[in-house]
Amino acid sequence: MLRWIIFLVVFIIIDLYAFQAFKTVTKNNWLHGLYWLITTLVIANFVFHYYGFNRRDGFSHAHAFAFGFLVALIVPKIVMLAIMLSEDIFRLPQALFRYFTEGETAKGNYFASRRQFISKMALGIAAIPLASIIYGIYKGKYNYKVFKYTLHFEDLPEAFDGYKITQISDIHSGSFDNIDKVKYGVELINEQQSDVILFTGDIVNNITEELVPYKTVFNKLKAKDGVFSVLGNHDYGDYVYWDSDEAKHKNLEDLKTLQKEMGFDLLLNESRYLEKNGQKIALVGVENWGAGGFKKAGDLKQAAAGIKKDDFKILMSHDPSHWEKEVINDDYHYHLTLSGHTHGMQFGIEIPGWFKWSPVKWRYKYWAGIYKEMGKYINVNRGFGYLAFPGRVGIWPEITVIELKKTTNNA
């Protein structure tokens, strides 16, 4: 209860400042009433869906949109709050000066009136994130982008020079609301004509049934050397309430079976060899391993038990914190690790090849794109789907294409 009181108090403070900007620009009482009506409805809808909400009970589309509408409401108002507060930094010293110099002659009105220019500027700037969030909810979540990288390795087997990998991650099928858009994304994946397709976890939000309507969509994924997958933290059903441990176990087994029926080769702390012209590279897949309270079912030693130390190795591990905490310092040299999990927070600013920023960088050191440490690479895929917030702003759904190239010491 206390957290809801704090939430409402903070929101009231934000709203009072935002409303000051609004009423400075217009004196129309009907518009003032509309402002408060929309605000009240959005907050009431959010409280209705989240008061007493237990994550283990499941997360519906209604929950997602209640959260999305709140974000669309509150972010522009925070922008206005920042601008109005900055004006108050100058108004406060002026008010104090008038208090001590004019005294009673000021008749108690020591604060100078808000400038209409500042209020208009606040509303204009706030309109930018508002439009971006609305676009992200209705269009951005299916705005698939193909990111292409070429990585060079001295010890890559010659037969795999030019080998192409398509990586996708974080499908979160329970969040989708437009199957035709998802079909388009699958067609775009196949258009890359890669040698292999690798999926790095979180195919559902919570339960296997979410994936059933999309079985005939994702079973269309095709690559010469197959489609391989691993589990992410959401795939275990840990975030919903189950009547029994047996029901939870059955859900996971059903998910494994469904992936097999879709043509996915699910790697559960195990490995496969990809062969070409008599040469081979090792593909290693671990179950989820994540720092910060996430499930640690991944067992890197077990997964690599069937391969040799000097093999060229590609590791599939859902959470990039695994690479940071365990993989990068492992005795086995994992040339390339493929992860997902972060979604790039589904929010940020990115100019490919030039600049990228998201608040998620404060939680994950490796959060989107290619990184290289100690002669090893990791790609953190931004995710094919979305979760919680029903959209994407600036950080678009991703299809990664990585081409492996062999170099020499003189290259």
The residue type found at 109 is N
pLDDT for 73 equals 93
Asked if 396 and 358 count as a contact pair (C-beta separation under 8 A), the reply is no
In a domain, 348, yes or no: yes
Higher-pLDDT residue of 94, 190: 190
Residues 129 and 39 in one domain: yes
Burial of 352 (0-12, 13-18, 19+ CB in 10 A): exposed
Spatial CA neighbour of 307 closest among 276, 274, 278, 329:
274
In a domain, 248, yes or no: yes
When pLDDT is averaged across residues 14-38 and rounded to a whole number, the result is: 88
In a domain, 270, yes or no: yes
Instruction: Characterize 182-211 residue by residue with b for buried, 16 or more Cβ atoms within 10 angstroms of its Cβ, and e for exposed.
Output: beebbeebeebebbbbbbbbbbbbbbbebb
Asked if 75 and 133 count as a contact pair (C-beta separation under 8 A), the reply is yes
As a whole number of angstroms, the distance between CA 11 and CA 31 comes to 20
Domain that holds residue 9: 2-138
pLDDT band at 5 (very low <50, low <70, confident <90, very high): confident
pLDDT of residue 107 exceeding 60, the answer is no
Instruction: State pLDDT tens for residues 360-374.
Output: 999 999 999 999 999
Burial of 21 (0-12, 13-18, 19+ CB in 10 A): buried
Higher-pLDDT residue of 292, 7: 292
In a domain, 211, yes or no: yes
Residue 113 per-residue DSSP state: P
In a domain, 411, yes or no: no
Asked if 324 and 365 count as a contact pair (C-beta separation under 8 A), the reply is yes
Cβ atoms within 10 Å of 103's Cβ, excluding its own: 10
Asked if 174 and 207 count as a contact pair (C-beta separation under 8 A), the reply is yes
pLDDT of residue 149 exceeding 80, the answer is yes
Residues 134 and 148 in one domain: no
Residues 157 and 89 in one domain: no
pLDDT for 18 equals 87
In a domain, 206, yes or no: yes
pLDDT for 24 equals 82
pLDDT for 110 equals 54
As a whole number of angstroms, the distance between CA 60 and CA 33 comes to 31
Domain total in the chain: 2
Residues 204 and 264 in one domain: yes
Residues 113 and 165 in one domain: no
Boundary residue ending a domain (91, 106, 138): 138
Give the position of tokens 């179950």: 287
**Average model confidence (pLDDT) across the chain:** 91
Cβ atoms within 10 Å of 144's Cβ, excluding its own: 19
Which helix (H) or strand (E) is 190 found in, with range?
helix 179-191
Residue 299 per-residue DSSP state: -
CA 101, 106, 109, 115: dihedral to nearest 10 degrees?
A: -80
pLDDT for 117 equals 79
Residues 289 and 171 in one domain: yes
| Cβ neighbours of residue 159 closer than 8 Å, sequence gap 6 or more | 276, 277, 278, 279
> What sign does the CA torsion over 69, 72, 75, 78 have?
negative
pLDDT for 274 equals 98
pLDDT of residue 410 exceeding 60, the answer is no
Residues 112 and 218 in one domain: no
- CA geometry: angle 212, 144, 194, nearest 5 deg: 80
Q: Which has the minimum average pLDDT: 88-92, 232-236, 271-275, 383-387?
A: 88-92
In a domain, 97, yes or no: yes
Boundary residue ending a domain (123, 138, 153): 138
pLDDT of residue 115 exceeding 90, the answer is no
CATH of the domain at 214: 3.60.21.10
Using DSSP, state whether 66 is helix, strand or coil: helix
Residues 11 and 45 in one domain: yes
Which helix (H) or strand (E) is 380 found in, with range?
strand 376-380
pLDDT for 382 equals 98
pLDDT of residue 411 exceeding 50, the answer is no
Residues 259 and 309 in one domain: yes
As a whole number of angstroms, the distance between CA 78 and CA 128 comes to 12
Q: Strand pairing of 355-357 and 349-351?
A: antiparallel
Residues 134 and 244 in one domain: no
When pLDDT is averaged across residues 242-259 and rounded to a whole number, the result is: 97
As a whole number of angstroms, the distance between CA 409 and CA 411 comes to 6
In a domain, 224, yes or no: yes
Residues 167 and 256 in one domain: yes
pLDDT of residue 148 exceeding 60, the answer is yes
Boundary residue ending a domain (138, 166, 193): 138
Higher-pLDDT residue of 107, 151: 151
Residues 47 and 178 in one domain: no
Backbone angles phi, psi at 342, to 5 degrees: -75, -25
End-to-end CA distance of the chain: 64
When pLDDT is averaged across residues 323-334 and rounded to a whole number, the result is: 95
Which helix (H) or strand (E) is 350 found in, with range?
strand 349-351
Write down how long the chain is: 411
Spatial CA neighbour of 380 closest among 303, 308, 290, 296:
290
Distances (CA, A) of 46 to 2, 5, 40, 54: 16, 14, 10, 14
Helix 116-138 and helix 2-25, axial crossing angle in degrees, nearest 10: 120
pLDDT band at 305 (very low <50, low <70, confident <90, very high): very high
Asked if 384 and 170 count as a contact pair (C-beta separation under 8 A), the reply is yes
pLDDT of residue 147 exceeding 70, the answer is yes
